[in-house]
Amino acid sequence: MRQSQLFTKTRREAPKDEVAENAKLLIRAGFISKELAGVYTFLPLGLIVLEKIKNIIREEMNAVGGLEVQMTTLQNPELYEKTNRWDDEVVDNWFKTELKSGGKLGLGLTHEEAITAMLVGHVSSYKDLPMSVYQIQKKFRNEIRAKSGIMRGREFTMKDLYSFHANEEDLNDYYDKVKGAYERVFERVGLGELTYFTFASGGIFSKYSHEFQTLSEAGEDTIYVNEEKKFAINKEVLDEEILAEFGIGMDDLVEKKAIETGNIFKLGTRYTEPLGLKFIDENGETKPAIGASYGLGVDRLMGTIAEVMSDDRGLVWPRNIAPFTVHLVALGTEGGEAYTEAEDLYRVFSELGIEVLFDDRNLGAGEKFADADLLGMPYRVIVSDKTLASGGFELKERQSGEVRMVNLEELIEIVK
RNA sequence: CGGGGCAUAGUGUAACGGUAACAUCCACGAUUCGGGUUCGUGGGACUCUGGGUUCGAGUCCCAGUGCCCCGACCA
């Protein structure tokens, strides 16, 4: 893409109504735009990042047998009345609305009920199980207080997977498989090192629920990390009992701030029972299926990456989710030799399928450098009189700041 | 939902109760061309909304709305 055709502009200053670093940077760089408190539009560059994250998640969910669907945003209150989650006294962050005819509707804040009810017509025998269904879709939560930029919004994108099983053993096996899929997702988006499998409250069927917590000072949660075994315990469940359970003491744990990027938990028959998702087992007995649900905040993941990977000059995208691999910058006078050379390189990259953002704007070097740093593509390639004279290209790695001269073959080898 | 703060060009900030300024931005013309070059000319605001006080309100008072922060909450 040519930067001259990108309608978004960068800003020197962050808007005063944002404090969260992720929102400040993403707005300054033109990745997102704020509509309301906790409600953000994704602009072209931001949307590319979001879609890349979604695709990684999609691949990993598919790899553990998940089948993708898209449930509706508009939700039928009857389902939630059956599970006692419609009443505002019970669930206080519904967005509710009504039909012209007078009937009520809810805007989906989670889809256990909808998925379970939808599957009733598709499950009748133990042979139909296990079943694993997911979606990547908008959720709406009427948060009393939205905060932290795109990390806790009122409208956000979430991947939610639900699995249903004939017995507990099968549930446990699958639960571990999904855990592995989550670990691969975090690895691929560049957060593997910083993300801890964490024991937390909220378990319905099992004692604990499990969270994926990414270390960050911007996090709302306090967790206790055990480096050696690479897991953590959420402060909310930390007590003598759990320490004994893991055979550790407080000395083995380090207190950290973290962002809850994922949450998985076993539901048992909490939803299948009231909604009638039953099957007949080998002995002809009718039983409710046993379920689990697995959530992953897509835009929260993006916000977390912006938060933990950026530096004082701007965003730093891991290669797998960067909007473009290369930021090609032409210096000198528009139409000059360097520009012509850059045009050629742009064409070469495009033909090779290398994702490139070409800064073909007629601006000074300083401004282009500042923008490149702010936008955060993994590689910056400079074409200028200087590089022409040396017969190569200047390649700068955004994350390390390492700069070197390379020839065309080397350059392509690195960025392809 | 308790507590606190803020609201002025697209953005960031000024303005004693006396008739909105500066920077950035945008347009045009020069200049410059490896870290936001420099200069000139011009453009852009019913000062969040509604009331009130006053000869006069961006400024003081009341109410509302929006936004931010702390806490609570977060299936």
Per domain, the residue ranges of chain A are 3-309, 324-415
pLDDT digits (tens, 9 = 90+) for A27-69: 999 999 999 999 999 999 999 999 999 999 999 999 999 999 9
Nucleotide nearest to A85 (CA to C1'): B75
Distance A17 CA to B48 C1' (A): 14
So what's the pLDDT on residue A19? 93
Nucleotide nearest to A91 (CA to C1'): B75
Instruction: Give the pLDDT band of residue A211 (cuts 50, 70, 90).
Output: very high
Q: Which residue is nearest to nucleotide B7 (CA to C1')?
A: A17
Distance A33 CA to B31 C1' (A): 35
Q: Name the token pair of A296.
A: 């992953």
Distance A320 CA to B26 C1' (A): 36
So what's the pLDDT on residue A402? 97
Nucleotide nearest to A220 (CA to C1'): B74
CATH number of the A3-309 domain: 3.30.930.10
- Check the CA dihedral A211-A216-A222-A226 and report its sign: positive
So what's the pLDDT on residue A206? 86
CATH number of the A324-415 domain: 3.40.50.800
Contact indicator for A292, A171 with CB cutoff of 8 Å: yes
pTM, rounded to two decimals: 0.97
Distance A58 CA to B7 C1' (A): 43
pLDDT digits (tens, 9 = 90+) for A161-177: 999 999 999 999 999 99
Query: Chain B positions under 7 Å from a protein CB?
Result: 1-2, 10-13, 24-26, 32-37, 66-75
Burial of A272 (0-12, 13-18, 19+ CB in 10 A): buried
pLDDT at A204 over 80: no
Distance A161 CA to B30 C1' (A): 62
Mean pLDDT for A378-391 is 95
Instruction: Give the pLDDT band of residue A352 (cuts 50, 70, 90).
Output: very high
Using alpha carbons only, give the angle A260, A261, A262 rounded to the nearest 5 degrees. Answer: 100
pLDDT at A258 over 90: yes
Phi and psi at residue A15, in whole multiples of 5°?
-65, 150
How many Å apart are CA A258 and CA A264, to the nearest integer? 16
Tell me the three state secondary structure of residue A397. Answer: strand
